[in-house]
Amino acid sequence: MKSPKETSLDRKLLEAAHGEALRAAELLIADDEIQALHEYANVVSIRRLNFNDHGPVHMRKVALNALRMLDLLKEAGVETSLEADGAGSLDDSRVAVLTAAFLHDVGMSIGRQNHEMNSAILAAPIIDRLLGTLYPGETARRTAIKCLALEGIEGHMATMRIHSIEAGLILVADGCDMEKGRSRIPMMLSVEPRVGDIHQYSAAAISKVTLGPGERRPIRIDVSMDESVGFFQVEEVLLQKINVSPVKPMIELLAAVTGQAPRRYLG
C-alpha cells in the first residue's frame, strides 16, 4: 500500500507531466512490478545498508525535479538532445526523462555496488513493456527513447560519461533530492555511528531545495540549510554531479545557511 507521501507525489507528477509523458506517468505509477522494486530498494538501502531513502518517494522526487528542469530548458528555448539529433520530439524527451528518473535506483534492490548498472538491467524489460504500450508499431521511436532512458539510469552516479541533455538532467535531479526528510528514517533506525553517516547528517541539515528560472542561465538551484554541515552535501554530492553533466552550462547554483549570505557555486 502506498504511503500518503507517495500518493501526494503521484498527484504532483500527473500535474507536471504533459502529452505522452502524462500517459507514461499513469503507466509507471500504476505498475505493480515497479512499486515492488521501489519498496524493496528501500528495504535494502535503509534497513540492510543504513543508507538514505532510495525508494518510491526518492524516485518520484527525482522524476519531479527532472521534469521541472526540462520545462525550464524549454522556456529558455533550449533543445533536448533528441530534438537536436532529429531523432525525436520534446514529448519523447519527456518520456525518456520521466522513465529514467522513475527507475534509476531500482538496482538498489540488489545492493549498492554497481546499482546503476543493475538498475538498467532490471529496468530494460519494464521500459520495453511501457513503450510497447505507448508507441505500438513505432520501433525507431521506442528504440531512441529506451536508449536515452538507459543512458540516464546508467549515468546517474557520474561513474559513466554521458552526452545527452536528458541524461544530464537525471544526474542533477538525483543530486537535488537531499532535503532532510530523505535521511529521517535511517537516522531514526541507526543508534551507532556507521560509515556513510556524514551523508545522513549533511542531508538532515538541508531544509529546502528550490528549482526555478535563473537570472543568467535557464535553471537556478537554491539550497537552504539549517547548519553548515549541509555544504558537504552540496559540494560532495550535488556539485560533483553537476560538474560532469552536459546541463552544467545552463545551471546557477547557490547555497546558504539560514540568515547568512549565499555561496554562489555556478552562474
Among the residue ranges 4-8, 67-71, 180-184, 210-214, the one predicted with the least confidence is: 180-184
Which domain does 63 fall in, by range?
Answer: 4-266
Residue 191: is its pLDDT beyond 60?
no
Tens digits of per-residue pLDDT, 224-265?
A: 999 888 898 899 989 999 999 999 999 999 999 999 999 999
CB neighbour list of residue 86: distance below 8 Å, 6 or more residues apart: none
C-alpha to C-alpha distance for 254 and 21, rounded to whole angstroms: 30
Tens digits of per-residue pLDDT, 72-125?
A: 999 999 999 999 999 999 999 999 999 999 999 999 999 989 999 999 999 999
Residue 196: is its pLDDT beyond 70?
no
Q: Is the model's pTM score more than 0.85?
A: yes
Adjacent-strand bridge partners of 254: 222, 264
Q: What single letter denotes the amino acid at residue 84?
A: A
CB neighbour list of residue 106: distance below 8 Å, 6 or more residues apart: 34, 37, 38, 41, 59, 118, 119, 122, 123
Report the mean per-residue pLDDT for the chain. Answer: 91
194-209 average pLDDT score: 70
Domain count within the chain: 1
* 3-class DSSP assignment, residue 212: strand
C-alpha to C-alpha distance for 115 and 64, rounded to whole angstroms: 21
Q: Give whole-number Cα distances, 103 to 35, 43, 134, 223, in Å.
A: 10, 16, 17, 25
